[in-house]
Amino acid sequence: MSDWESDKSADWGDKPVEPEKESKPFFGRKSPKLPPESGRDWKLIEKLVMSLQSEQRKSRRWGIFFKFLTFGYLIALLFLIKFPLGDSLEGVTGKHTALVEINGPIAADELASADNIVGSLRTAFEEPNSVAVILRINSPGGSPVQSGYVYDEIKRLREEYPEKKVYAVISDIGASGAYYIAAAADEIYANRASLVGSIGVVAGGFGFTEVMEKIGVDRRLYTAGENKAFLDPFSPEQEEEVTFWQSVLENTHQQFIEAVKQGRGDRLADDERLFSGLVWSGEQAVELGLADGLGSASHVARQIIGQEELVDYSRRKSPFQDIVDQLGVAFGEGFASQLVESRLELR
């Protein structure tokens, strides 16, 4: 049978393929054709979305927690600044020995300033239940002015409250201005290895004239008054200025000597080295009459005063100030002032 007689329709070439219907494009543009999604793919996508939502919720919770924690920390810090711990003496009811600490350099801008020490001493003396006062000293000294203020106030308080004795107890060091203060006490005690004395005056600075010449810097200083640029560290040293400054140091030293003699009296040994600026051990200090005996604050309270309970009347730094000091904010300022200024100190 020929092809002409076949029931099959004749095909003259390949049958054209009808184009598949395209999905309607979004926004007038053709979108790519996506393969059909299986149930497994949808489950994976769903798990991923749920996981992301869970992480976001956790992140929000932790964020809220840390915000509340920071807020609570700031509230607690403000509370401590407003109401510092350890300053209240409301719980003091029975007889006791009052304790006042003198720690670190003695200066107007330090914790061991005359204002802080005198305020603590007045509170200790005014307390009816304090039977005596112990000054526990651990200081290398400092300002003769601040030390003189405290010395004079101790003398005044002793006269106002003659029934209460004052005992100075030196721990590691009680030198220079710190010993100036101790000399006002009725008795002085120390450890056998304590450093005691250093009855002298020192003032120091730096001279930068040669450095300025090397780097080519000119000093331009304008004053009214021939001595207004007295001991300027950027100007050459003048002999008459040095002589005058030495007279100031000698006069201050003599004030220191008179205060020690008035406080210690006949207990001082006849030794010319006492006021030379030397520092002595506790044992040597007892031999020289700079101290009355060896012992700690608790020993003096128990054995000498007869009232073992100690109550601390010392003024403390606020927690905020402690944080600032630990961060070292004042380091640069202190270094610069020490570098440029000539400060008079008892040492």
- Tell me what pLDDT residue 234 has: 82
Instruction: Compute CA distances 186 → 157, 290, 298, whole Å.
Output: 12, 12, 17
pLDDT digits (tens, 9 = 90+) for 165-215: 999 999 999 999 999 999 999 999 999 999 999 999 988 888 887 887 788
Pairing of strands 187-190, 130-139: unpaired
Distances (CA, A) of 213 to 217, 218, 341: 6, 8, 21
Say if residues 130 and 311 touch (Cβ distance below 8 Å). Answer: yes
CATH 3.90.226.10 describes domain 94-199+267-319: yes
231 vs 305, more confident? 305
Q: Are 190 and 169 in contact (CB under 8 A)?
A: yes
List the chain domain ranges: 45-83, 94-199+267-319
Could you tell me where the beta strands, DSSP code E, fall in the chain?
A: 96-103, 130-139, 165-175, 187-190, 195-197, 201-204, 279-281, 293-294, 310-312, 343-346
Phi, psi of 16 (to 5 degrees): -65, 140
Is the pLDDT at 34 greater than 70? The verdict is no
Contact present, 230 and 342 (Cβ < 8 Å): no
Can you tell me which residue has the tokens 């021939």? 226
Instruction: Specify the pLDDT at position 217.
Output: 84
Distance CA 164, CA 121 (A): 12
Q: Closest by alpha carbon to 163, among 116, 135, 119, 129?
A: 129
* Whether pTM exceeds 0.75: no
Q: What is the pLDDT of residue 238?
A: 84
Residue 336 has a pLDDT of 46
pLDDT 10s digits, 112-133: 999 999 999 999 999 999 999 9
Q: Which residue has the higher pLDDT, 339 or 312?
A: 312
Is the pLDDT assigned to residue 340 strictly greater than 90? Answer: no
For residue 314, what pLDDT band results from cuts at 50, 70 and 90?
Answer: very high
Instruction: Kindly provide the b/e burial profile for residues 116-137, where b requires at least 16 CB atoms within 10 angstroms of the residue's own CB.
Output: bbbbbbebbbebeebbbbbbbb
Given phi > 0 = left and psi -120 to 50 = alpha, else beta, which region is 277?
left
